[in-house]
Chains A and B, each alone.
Chain A
Amino acid sequence: MAHILPSAPSSLLGRFMPRSNLALARLGVVLALLALILFGALRYDGFVGLFNILSFLKFNSMFALVALGMAFVIMTGGIDLSVGAAAALASVAAAICSTYGSAAGILGGLSAGLAVGLINGVVITGLRIQPFIATLATMLAANGSALLLAGNQSVSIATDNNFMAIGLNNFLGLPIPVWIVVFAYFGGWLTLERLPVGRRILAIGDGEATAKLMGLHVERTLLGVYLFSGLMAGTAGVILASSSFAGQPTEGIGWELIAIASVVVGGTLLTGGVGSVGATLAGALLLGLVFTVINFENGKGWISLSSSWQPVIRGLFLLAVVVLQAKLAGTRRNSP
């Protein structure tokens, strides 16, 4: 967990004890994740089998990446509603560019994501428009651009080069998207916990005016954060195109809200100033795992939960987490 004022643990015990109610909430997410995995492992055959684990991780890698970008944006006190549309646009761009080689496909997808992030950053810092409105607009624009580029249908990727390997192949036993997630989250953790820019991001989330008075490069940092979110969306788009063999202009609707839910479940407050990279991953995996557990439960045949129950259960999950979080954090937030 990262906070703007790192309080040094006074004892060895202190190092392992949650230092605040929020940290306790985050610990709760990890415990809930472990409990759900244990539940699944005991109840279903093949739940902890290699195939299931790998396909689960691969499928959720896109959501995990988008959630990581969202986590950084939310830590600065902002929000990025454009990530889903940006990922869809990136998948179309990647599919179109993949005919010029796998590198071109990757580059095309990433640049599409970065372009959306750049517009977000410029509109928010340059025109000083609230992130909610700015990214709402770029969401519409990215959605429209994706449909225009793709001609209102999915665009198949080139199959004569290595582009589809990203979504298909394994490296050292793990699917490539999973490696990307590992690197992205390690980089995210490093940035937040070990680099000056991490402190800067949290300082901005704590109070933008104060951060500015402290002489921090607020605008540059915000621009970087929205670029990063765009890059993550672009990466998710490349994975989407590669693993579904097509650029999907209408995918990604609602991804932004799933990502926000993951970040919130991960204990990051939407007010900014606090955040955790690890708990965001736990949050994203937890929400994904709910789906998997329902699928396995259906497979057992005791009950039959139709797919429409999945959002209901996910919503209830989000509800439980935010109410719990509010209760735990309530005392702390009410007495500043």
Chain B
Amino acid sequence: MSALDTAPSSTNGGPVERRLNARQATLRFLGRYGTLLVFASLLLFNVVFTPNFVAWNTLTLNLTQVATVVIVAMGMTLVIATGGIDLSVGSVMAIAGALAPLIFLDRIVPIPSHTLGVALALTLPLLAAALCGWFNGFLITRYRIQPIVATLVLFIAGRGIAQTFTNSELQTFNEPSFQFIGKGFVWGVPVQVILMALVVLATHYLVRRTALGRQILAVGGNEKAARLSGIDAAGVKRLIYVISGVLAGIAGMVVVAINNASDAARVGTLMELDAIAAVAVGGTLLSGGRANVLGTVLGAFVLQLVRTTLLANGVPDAAALVVKAALIIAAVWLQSRAERI
């Protein structure tokens, strides 16, 4: 931090400067580790006060509840790192979630082999989700439409598309091989938690260890400079929206598998807000050029834990929303204050 940066906030002079520095250090510490501190204190509070909190079931329940948010939020982190936003994730979840049962229930075309049907049900919806993501990226890069407007198109239309697939009917099913992704366990760990972990690791690796990761950050930091240095900025963006779409598709299928049913009107509603909130609380600035992957995971965990804590202690879900709101404001305020030091 140069003297120029601190000048406006301090009145100069030795002792004043030092006192401010102590305050600044605290602020920066809170900005960096505040979310972690909240997480730790929430855990501690629950361990002490919430009955039956320290139990394998509590852990897996919370992890299964947060898994889909984390999966979607990984895509959102990448999108936000490029300076964009993806409002369509919830609708894409609904599309993928509506398609999968249609395929293995033979509602589209009769598929002779049962295994083939399930295999297609696990892959074709992801292709559709990828197509949705590609469409978002296409609008944004080809026509230079702002991401919030471009993804608003699918946000509005996507759920309707999913409902027309299913005639707005609730599709119930019982298909253990497909539902493995939502209800299965591997060594006692729910499959969607394993999926979540894999997605998080892959995203972390992508951002930290690959050239594409650097390119994402470069495009989000300064698109023009990135283009001038030879990065295919439009290509990077399109790929990121495709990734966000596919991850939303995975989440949509997991939700449907858990519920034994696909309800196009409900799958993934408000998911875009949960994902964006996780990203914001996790310390990724919405202006782009940064991607704090593990921060997003922490952000999603904190928001989940707040909800669990309040519910477990008899606070209604509606009040949890207000607390969540305050938490988002506080986290973002602290981080941006720490940023400006």
Question: Which A residues fall within an 8 A CB radius of B?
Answer: 79, 123, 127-130, 132-134, 136-141, 143-148, 152, 253, 257-258, 260-261, 264, 270-271, 306-316, 318-319, 322-323, 326-327, 330, 333-334
Contact = CB atoms under 8 A, between A and B. Distances in A.
B153 A144 contact: no
Chain A interface, DSSP helix/strand/loop, else mixed:
helix
Counting chain A CB atoms within 10 Å of each CB, the highest count among B85, B161, B325 belongs to B325
A129 B153 contact: no
A132 B154 CA distance: 19
Nearest to A261: B152
Contact of B154 (A308, A315, A326): A315
Contacts of B69: none
Contact of A141 (B87, B157, B164, B321): B321
Given A139-B273, A264-B149, A330-B144, 8 more contacts: A133-B280, A141-B322, A147-B316, A147-B317, A147-B318, A148-B319, A309-B160, A319-B139
Interface of B: 85, 87, 139, 143-146, 148-150, 152-161, 163-164, 167-168, 264, 269-270, 273, 276-277, 280, 286-287, 316-322, 324-326, 328-329, 332-333, 336
Contacts of A123: 329
23 contacts: A130-B287, A140-B325, A140-B328, A141-B321, A141-B325, A141-B326, A143-B318, A144-B324, A147-B316, A152-B318, A253-B270, A260-B152, A261-B156, A264-B149, A264-B152, A270-B149, A308-B167, A312-B161, A315-B155, A318-B152, A323-B143, A326-B143, A334-B144
Contacts of B329: 123, 127, 129, 133-134, 137
Contacts of A319: 139, 153, 157
Contact of B163 (A308, A313, A318): A308
Please list the 7 inter-chain residue pairs (A to B) with the smallest Cβ-Cβ separation, ordered nearest first. Answer: A315-B157, A144-B321, A311-B160, A308-B163, A147-B318, A141-B325, A312-B160
Nearest to A85: B321
A143 B317 CA distance: 11
A309 B164 contact: yes
B299 to A, nearest CB: 12
